[in-house]
Copies of this chain bind each other. A is one copy, B any other.
């Protein structure tokens, strides 16, 4: 393992170790396409570089989560719904993110957003099953939404939820399409297109199933708001 200015070479990958200095947040391990050994090695290196604050790995399969559990024991915080691992203490939260999910099947993506937002420094919680076909469930939590500094709205199928939420409140809102659906849902493209065409002003969108990206943006927005309070 060679150490170089700005990155660390692990043989199979070079970690960007100056990212926290540049952007305020360390690099994150994206687990898809990596074997358990690589995931563990990357997590350990990241943790060594940033012992004072939690580091994150996402999209971990069963084998990778088991390897993490064996290696780090209770030091690692494993979320089986979100398929994430965090290592090290969470930062003191600043600002609040509310993650809203349309249906039961959207929960894993919503959970990834919640975990990510916490690692990136914001308070975060989740409201689920407030899909537009039962609008009364959404109206019941409206005050909750208004109190957040940033909203993450997760939906599959027709992806209509962000438009309805965005018409009820002016809180900054990130929409996350999920790959939930069948037939002409095209693996989430239908929901993605719907969200990009939202008639509610100011709705911004991330890639299909990208709870992580939504969590990063929302945490940055929320903690900016919180820092100044």
Contact = CB atoms under 8 A, between A and B. Distances in A.
Contact of A208 (B13, B184, B221): B184
Interface in A94-136: 102-105, 107, 128-129, 131-136
Given A32-B182, A158-B198, A205-B204, A7 B166 contact: no
A22 B168 contact: yes
A227 B225 CA distance: 8
Contacts of A184: 188-189, 192-193, 196-197, 207-208
A135 B193 CA distance: 21
Interface in A177-203: 177, 179-203
A163 interface: yes
Given A158-B199, A159-B194, A7 B135 contact: no
A137 interface: yes
A109 to B, nearest CB: 10
A203 B213 contact: yes
A185 B190 contact: no
A227 B228 contact: yes
Given A184-B189, A208-B184, A157 B201 contact: no
A116 B220 CA distance: 22
Interface of A: 6-7, 12-14, 16, 18-19, 22-25, 28, 32-34, 102-105, 107, 128-129, 131-137, 140, 149-150, 157-160, 163-164, 166-174, 177, 179-210, 212-214, 216-217, 220-221, 224-229
